[in-house]
Amino acid sequence: MSRAGPERATASPPGASDGPDRRTAIHWPRGADLGNSLGVATLAAPVTLAGSLVRLEPLGLHHVAGLAAAAAEDRSPFRWSWVPDGEAATHGYVLAALAGQEAGHMVPFATVRLDDPSTGADRVVGCTRFCRIEGWAWPAGSARHGKVTPDTCEIGYTWLAASAQRTGVNVEAKLLMVSHAFETWGAECVSWRTDARNEASRRAIERLGAGFEGIERAERLAVDGTVRDTARYSMLAAEWPEAKAALRARLARHAP
Q: How much of the chain exceeds pLDDT 70, in percent?
A: 83
Q: Is there a domain that residue 2 lies in?
A: no
Task: Report the C-alpha gap between 126 and 164 in whole angstroms.
Answer: 9
Name every residue whose Cβ is closer than 8 Å to that of residue 240 and which is 6 or more positions away in sequence: 178, 182
Contact 41, 104 (CB under 8 A): yes
- pLDDT tens by residue, 115-124: 988 888 999 9
Per-residue model confidence (pLDDT) at position 120? 87
Per-residue model confidence (pLDDT) at position 28? 35
Note down the domain range covering 226.
8-16+23-252
The rounded radius of gyration (Å) of the Cα atoms in the chain is 17
- pLDDT tens by residue, 46-103: 999 999 999 999 999 999 999 999 999 999 999 999 999 999 999 999 999 999 999 9
Residue 104 zone, left/alpha/beta (φ > 0; ψ -120 to 50; rest): left
Contact 17, 155 (CB under 8 A): yes
Per-residue model confidence (pLDDT) at position 256? 58
CB atoms within 10 A of CB 72: 16
> CATH number of the domain that 228 lies in?
3.40.630.30
Asked whether the predicted pLDDT for residue 226 surpasses 80, the reply is: yes
Task: Name the pLDDT band for 35 (thresholds 50, 70, 90).
Answer: very low
> In 3-state terms, what secondary structure has residue 236?
strand
Average pLDDT, the chain: 87
Q: Is there a domain that residue 60 lies in?
A: yes
- pLDDT tens by residue, 229-256: 999 999 999 999 999 999 999 999 987 5
Q: Is there a domain that residue 3 lies in?
A: no
* Total domains present in the chain: 1
Q: How much of the chain exceeds pLDDT 90, in percent?
A: 79
Contact 234, 192 (CB under 8 A): yes
Q: Is there a domain that residue 1 lies in?
A: no
- Nearest alpha carbon to residue 229 among 202, 190, 191, 208: 202
Name every residue whose Cβ is closer than 8 Å to that of residue 43 and which is 6 or more positions away in sequence: 148, 149
